[in-house]
Amino acid sequence: MKGNGQQIYIQEVVTRDGFQNECEFVDTAKKIRLVDQLSDCGFAKIEVSSFTSPKAIPALRDAEEVMQGIKRNPGVEYTALVPNVRGAERALACAVDEANLVMSTSESHNLSNLRMTREQSFSGLKQVIEELAPTDIAINVSLSTVFGCPMEGDVELDTVMSWAERFAELGVRGITLCDTTGMAYPTQVGDVVHAFKQRFSDLQLTVHLHNTRGMALSNALAAIDGGADRFDGALGGLGGCPYAPGASGNVCTEDLVHMLELMGYHTGVDLDRALSASSLLPGLVLREVPSQVLKAGKRLDLHPVPEFVRERLASSLA
């Protein structure tokens, strides 16, 4: 088998990245129950919510209630998106394990998404890092549009590396390379991940993929070939980017786990439990979700043999 038991860490982001774009507000108690269910699935991290302004993301206006209401599994890290110092203060009050900071490597996308230049974002995130530095909260920085911007096209690798370097110098634990707009393709992903691993071997690297053009699973395999061993995924394939025309959801967690386990990689994720949690999503967001394995079942979920076929087989063996 290709994977030979290699450990691949899966980080679940559905209750943040998945729910933030949904029109239907998911009830707080239902969010808490879902996170508790996810806690028993074997994920390395769960991104629970976002401490963004409730006016900006009303779907996650209950971040405190959710973070304070969940049951903590000691084998799971509970993370949240933290956009600014005020968000950092809220995260501290909720005792998150990790703060996930976000900015774009594309100037146009950063202005569209965050209403700031990249330098303004960096200055603000530096303040967040300084605020959290005396605490036990780990810091991860998600760099968006690493693999392409819908307004500028390709983002130079040197640009990506430069921003990663600036955050590494501030002492962050990890960097996430984000295909925010679903523009990545496999050879590109492999090359970028390999270059990143060569330069920043001490940083925890996560790859965040979207399936906008149907290449998320292929891109994941290319990222592994490049040296990645940690991926964000969204149950059901939920999520998207409001500033990427036609963008669809994140790589579907259960589809990714299903593929990797078949190939001999070890994710530690209980796929049956993950599918059970995913089956709740259509009732929560009031629409069908993109998950393929949820629709078709696992590869070896066999079906009953039709009676006429059973009779034909029996007669042929008589």
Task: Please state, in angstroms and rounded to a whole number, the distance separating the CA atoms of residues 9 and 30.
Answer: 26
Q: Report the alpha-carbon distance of residue 128 to residue 83 in Å, rounded.
A: 8
**Catalytic (active site) residue 252:** no
Burial string for 26-58 (b: 16+ CB within 10 Å, else e) reads: beeeebbbbbbebbbbbbbbbbbbbbbeeeebe
Beta bridge partners of 78: 46
User: Of the listed 41, 94, 149, 241, which one is catalytic?
Assistant: 241
Angle formed by the axes of helices 28-38 and 271-278, nearest 10°: 170
| CA distances from residue 62 to 37, 283, 307 in whole angstroms, order as listed | 18, 19, 53
In DSSP terms, which residues pair with 142 in a beta bridge?
A: 102, 176
Catalytic residue positions, numbered: 241
